[in-house]
Structure 1
């Protein structure tokens, strides 16, 4: 079988590497940093530990499939998966709170009726039924198959079955997620609940297509999961599976270019001048090693400009005092001024009072003892392309605003802080190589193809793209799917059409 060079040790790249090694290929991974996992990192200090990337795992079946296909030990034998219940507590702008159960439509309907008033739950439940239809229409072409050559079909068709809305003597259907919230949910708190799923992925609900309804549906239908010991444990398990399948890892090995011979990929060149020959190259964002048109061709989905992709600020809080019994694992504190917050997508201004996700896992592995608590705050922000996160005081000033927002859900939070660590898009850039520290969103249909990602195959024979900047986009489940698609294309060839 062939020699395969994989650029980067992110989750999608490792998923591809493990599958390719099992297929009999000789696989070597070249990672410019000193560890694996891409954005799935951990910060540790004084007995505290924090997930600085994704804090929860949607759609764990993707990673279960990887472990089934690459060895005898299932995922649950390598990590402990815990279903998070409740799925989330929401604190809305007016102070109203709703606690939503995990993966229960009836439970969500009841909880929203109790919290927001009769009828609110029914409207959300009806929305979830329509979101399921959008999911059924797009799941296979967007997640389980290589990107269609006729990708414009996906770009032009809106899969979400919007409810007809009469406006100014005209009947219209929602084209954006914001219109779904305003016209179908008809409650600013339900609209905030809907939009928070898009915002968490760096999507502007005013321009995100109605097809983004699949994002809340994903959590609802498949549940929200946590990996005991921290999400970094998933990266550890995948890395160990790769090593067990004799994938070779080279850390501190930055790839400076892809070699070509006779019109096809022939290996990689490292920053220190070392040349590594290979029959196939798998790269994260392969256009970074050459012009996009040369990599993909004129009729392909072009790489989205990374400068326009928002990033995240993560605040790790070491707290004195134990975690109160009954505390929700995840709380979403919604912004009190929606329009001001969405300015992050225009002028690129960090919000004064952002929507903040508060993760408070009940996990002894993340704290020194039961008299302390490890908490992570996350907010979507402009990337380094639009806001200078290296400016003196910029990171701490925004972290102060995040803590102030989180205090609406955690009274007295500021007084409990022993110390904190603030991480900005600059850290994301260092850890993942993203040009401005942006975090890619999942691929979505409609919107004229703006939210599709370049195909895993390229115009250069033997060169493939994997990970969040390639099909099917960002997110932990999507990374695993990306790895499966790349492996299928290499092992079975261009005729590969996805798992059945």
Structure 2
């Protein structure tokens, strides 16, 4: 196993239970991939995902790999409200967790009569897209005929009274313009795509499943910080006798008779294996093998969010993060998560994939976990601010951080007066557990969009070599990472006839 990310560890635990001897080689000094923690002066901060959707993925992992269920290994807390949203016009709404009726009522009250009904109707259509894509995009290996998923838009058409016909949205932006018809509802919808670095103007309508997943399965926090989930998975691997070797970089994948047969480490040592599972970026994996890993019909990774000539001039966005240490108690009623939407949607989206010297104020997510484990005492608070943007020019990081703090003042009263210190983490810095450094993003696989939003299969053209993690099927995000591990384990244990997780 190459890499100790969440997907790789999920695969390792399952394979060990199935009777395989599993060794994990991780080039850094710890496990968890992007699920890390930063600590200073008694304050703790999640440096990767701050919340969990679809906890059933990890509940299933723990059921299938041992006697102790997930809830005995970590404390899961349902976040309520799911999120508070502050819009560009100053209006705001707090959305209850996993309650369609509650969300409809809250939106009607905050944004005006009819807003909640339009959002509720959208969620019904989003569920249809979810039902059509859940198994092929989350629970099954990537279809050999993946083009069917690439060409067919699963989000349903909507009757249009004026046109006396149905009209099918092709992008998230079109859903907002045609169906939601309110810039605040559009911002609410598009924030789920922005969190993965996706531009809603060219992201397929099938991405409606992203807000639906949060609505249907709720938003959850792991007490002690999300790093506790990584710890629990790591300890489950140890319980199943998985061996971890840290500070061990894999230089090359060995092959024998046209099949993966082990790895060569940076120190020159060779390790033989019957199967090799790699949780690394596709380009790095290809360099490790010296083989063509994609057959003529395989889905290949794209170079950026858009295929074609423009892809060469676009840059990959990342998550820019600011950690805040505050004096004083949070105060009653403080939302765990507040999303402060950008004042200029067009400027934000135009900046998403194109680097520029002058940053613009983005949509900012403010996380304020009321968690004693993340603060020195009850008279202090740790806060994480994050925004997704193209790389910020060198020397402009502090100016961009100022924009995030400015936005966060709408979520944290008296923020500047309470501030003890801040730490800024720009995308790509430090190489903290990800292939592209801190803040690297990997979006979940999505149907339609000509295949640009699908991810390469877990199997490769080199027999015995498998891909796992956010850069492979079924894409990025904690639930998808867990499922990639389940799919790889199933393919190894059951062979090419494996049809998916039950």
- Specify the TM-score bucket, using the shorter chain as the normaliser: over 0.9
Could you tell me how far apart the structure 2 residues matched to 1:19 and 1:308 are?
36
Deviations 1:239-270 (A, max 9, x none): 00001111000100111121111111111111
Could you tell me how far apart the structure 2 residues matched to 1:289 and 1:131 are?
35
Instruction: Give the alignment's Cα RMSD to 1 decimal.
Output: 1.8
8 Å Cα contact 2:361/2:400 also seen in 1: no
8 Å Cα contact 2:51/2:220 also seen in 1: yes
Aligned pairs for 1:168-247 (under 5 A) are: 172-247=167-242
Structure 2 counterpart of 1:3: none
Are residue 361 (structure 1) and residue 369 (structure 2) matched?
yes
The offset of 1:395, in angstroms, is 2.2
Runs of 4+ aligned structure 1 residues displaced above 6 Å come to 166-171
Deviations 1:48-77 (A, max 9, x none): 100010000000000000000000000000
8 Å Cα contact 2:157/2:166 also seen in 1: no
Structure 2 counterpart of 1:263: 258
**336-345 or 420-429, which moves further after superposition?**
420-429
Structure 1 counterpart of 2:44: 49
Structure 1 counterpart of 2:492: 490
Deviations 1:136-194 (A, max 9, x none): 00000000000000000000000001324589999642100000001100000000000
8 Å Cα contact 2:315/2:353 also seen in 1: no
Aligned pairs for 1:443-454 (under 5 A) are: 443-454=445-456
Are residue 432 (structure 1) and residue 434 (structure 2) matched?
yes
Task: Specify which of 339, 342, 348 is matched with residue 335 of structure 1.
Answer: 342
**424-433 or 38-47, which moves further after superposition?**
424-433
Structure 1 counterpart of 2:310: none
Could you tell me how far apart the structure 2 residues matched to 1:252 and 1:478 are?
26
State the number of aligned residues.
489
**300-309 or 40-49, which moves further after superposition?**
300-309
Q: State the SS of the aligned residue for 2:433.
A: helix
Deviations 1:398-431 (A, max 9, x none): 1111101111222321221101111121237442
Structure 2 counterpart of 1:295: 293
Task: Specify which of 35, 40, 47 is matched with residue 30 of structure 2.
Answer: 35
Q: State the SS of the aligned residue for 2:12.
A: helix
The offset of 1:288, in angstroms, is 1.4
Deviations 1:185-233 (A, max 9, x none): 0000000000001101111000000000000000000000000010000
Structure 1 counterpart of 2:360: 352
8 Å Cα contact 1:340/1:351 also seen in 2: no
Closer, same or farther: CA 436–164 of 1 in aligned 2, 3 Å: farther
**169-178 or 369-378, which moves further after superposition?**
169-178
Q: State the SS of the aligned residue for 1:290.
A: helix
Aligned pairs for 1:65-464 (under 5 A) are: 65-165=60-160, 172-284=167-279, 285-290=281-286, 294-305=292-303, 308-349=315-356, 351-383=359-391, 387-388=392-393, 391=394, 393-427=395-429, 429-434=431-436, 438-464=440-466
TM-score (norm 1): 0.95
Identify unmatched segments of 5+ residues in structure 1: 1-5
The offset of 1:325, in angstroms, is 1.1
TM-score (norm 2): 0.94
Task: Specify which of 3, 7, 10 is matched with residue 12 of structure 1.
Answer: 7
Deviations 1:345-379 (A, max 9, x none): 34234741110000001111111111110100010
Q: State the SS of the aligned residue for 1:420.
A: strand
8 Å Cα contact 1:93/1:335 also seen in 2: yes
Could you tell me how far apart the structure 1 residues matched to 2:465 and 2:159 are?
45
